């Protein structure tokens, strides 16, 4: 059997195992079984207890050539919904799903690519650097699996996350940080005709706050958005509850903190001026990162692409991935493409040439230039 056919069969097997966020146990067991079949010793932690998942993060260390610097390879096990009953099929140069489900290439293609690359390396007895394989849970739920990674199980201080679109040469070495705010404005209910003077409108307070905010494109590095504004009641009653959600993203940590503070100040000022009360929760979804392109992990991936004539470019991701979390932990991490498109929709698809190219690229990253990284 060719390695391409093996990779496709492996992908089909994984995507057909349901693993919507919080339900990763079955696919985790399949991954562990495949690693054991290669003679490896996978381990798992207890992150599922902390993340609300049936599964756990999976780790597997593979010894390599003495003196070669280790490399971590990572993909996440969970998918978004609807991810139950996936029926993958090949349509020309693409893998797609039948019906109204996602395909699950995000990120089962990354999982399959790592396993297939490792299988090739071991079966062909190729010299390789030490490898730390990590398969995380709950990436789609705020990257909570990565947040609970056990660093004592990881020796590598450089990593490649396989969780992007296009080919492996699409190198994401920079991504913004993101804060989310969940706010509740509490006013005071009163009859709108009988005694409106006694009421405090939460809607009016919240609207005043939003009207004062600077939103959307703040500068080339920063955006802000109000995602929802909910207030329900009768027309005869002054509404005493309004709930809002906000998001701030920035490539600059300082600007992220600064503009988040501005939004909170607008909310607090409007509450104070109207006699309402503000209650909010601030959550840092992920920290920003920006890696140099002329050295380290980013340069390693670029050099591999140059050596083998692969199309490549550095790009700035607008979203977040586990790479944000690992960089914050001190593991220099880039994210690369594995060929997936239209993710999180029933139109999701995987380009086979890019998927196979990614597998070959992993083999090259693991086996070439062992004297440096």
Asked whether residue 54 carries a pLDDT value surpassing 80, the answer given is: yes
Distance CA 92, CA 112 (A): 20
Query: What domain range includes position 269?
Result: 177-286
- What is the Cα–Cα distance from 214 to 180, expressed in whole angstroms? 16
Query: What band does 373 get if pLDDT is binned at 50, 70 and 90?
Result: low
pLDDT of residue 372: 62
Please state the rounded mean pLDDT for residues 135-147.
95
Averaged confidence pLDDT in the chain: 96
What is the C-alpha separation between 296 and 317, in angstroms, rounded? 19
1: pLDDT confidence band, cut at 50, 70 and 90? confident
Structure-token match 């070669």, residue found: 68
Report yes or no: 244 and 228 within 8 Å, Cβ to Cβ: yes
Residues 262 and 162 in one domain: no
Domain limit, last residue, from 266, 286, 306: 286
Q: Tell me, yes or no, whether 79 and 15 share the same domain.
A: yes
- Tens digit of each residue's pLDDT (9 = 90 or more) over 345-364: 999 999 999 999 999 999 99
Above 80 in pLDDT, residue 371? no
274 has which bridge partners?
none
Do 163 and 182 belong together in one domain?
A: no
Q: Which of 258, 286, 314 is the last residue of a domain?
A: 286
- At 260-305, the pLDDT tens digits run 999 999 999 999 999 999 999 999 988 999 999 999 999 999 999 9
Q: What tokens does 263 get? A: 């939004």
CATH at residue 36 = 3.40.630.10
CATH at residue 221: 3.30.70.360
Percent of the chain clearing pLDDT 90 (strictly above): 95
């Amino acid at each position: 059997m060719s390695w391409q056919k093996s990779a496709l069969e492996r992908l089909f097997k994984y995507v057909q195992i349901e693993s919507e966020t919080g339900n990763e146990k079955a696919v985790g067991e399949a991954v562990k079984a495949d690693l054991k079949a290669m003679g490896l010793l996978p381990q798992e932690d207890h992150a599922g207890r902390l993340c609300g998942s049936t599964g756990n993060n999976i780790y597997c260390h593979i010894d390599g050539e003495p003196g070669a610097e280790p490399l971590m390879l990572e993909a996440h096990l969970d998918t978004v919904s609807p991810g139950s009953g996936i029926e993958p099929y090949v349509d020309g140069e693409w893998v797609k799903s039948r019906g109204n489900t996602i395909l699950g290439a995000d990120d089962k293609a990354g999982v399959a690519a790592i396993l297939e690359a490792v299988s090739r390396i071991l079966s062909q007895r190729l010299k390789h650097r030490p490898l730390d394989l990590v398969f995380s849970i709950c990436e789609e739920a705020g990257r909570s699996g990565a947040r609970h990674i056990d660093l004592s199980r990881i020796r590598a201080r450089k990593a490649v996350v396989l969780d992007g679109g296009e080919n492996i040469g699409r190198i994401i070495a920079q991504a913004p940080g993101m804060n989310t705010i969940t706010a509740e404005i509490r006013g005071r209910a009163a009859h709108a005709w009988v005694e409106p003077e006694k009421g405090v409108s939460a809607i009016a307070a919240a609207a005043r706050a939003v009207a004062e905010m600077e939103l959307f494109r703040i500068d080339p590095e920063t955006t802000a958005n109000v995602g929802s504004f909910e207030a329900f009641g009768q027309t005869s009653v002054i509404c005493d509850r309004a709930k809002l959600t906000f998001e701030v993203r920035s490539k600059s940590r300082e600007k992220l903190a600064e503009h988040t503070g501005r939004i909170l100040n607008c909310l607090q000022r409007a509450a104070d001026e109207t006699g309402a009360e503000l209650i909010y929760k601030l959550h840092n979804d992920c920290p920003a990162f920006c890696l140099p392109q002329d050295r380290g992990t980013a340069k390693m991936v670029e050099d591999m692409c140059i050596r083998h004539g692969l199309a490549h470019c550095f790009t700035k991701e607008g979203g977040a991935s586990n790479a944000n979390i690992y960089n914050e932990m001190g593991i220099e991490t880039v994210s690369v493409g594995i060929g997936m498109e239209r993710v999180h929709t029933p139109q999701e698809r995987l380009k086979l040439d890019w998927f196979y190219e990614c597998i070959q690229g992993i083999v090259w990253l693991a086996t070439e230039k062992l004297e440096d990284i």
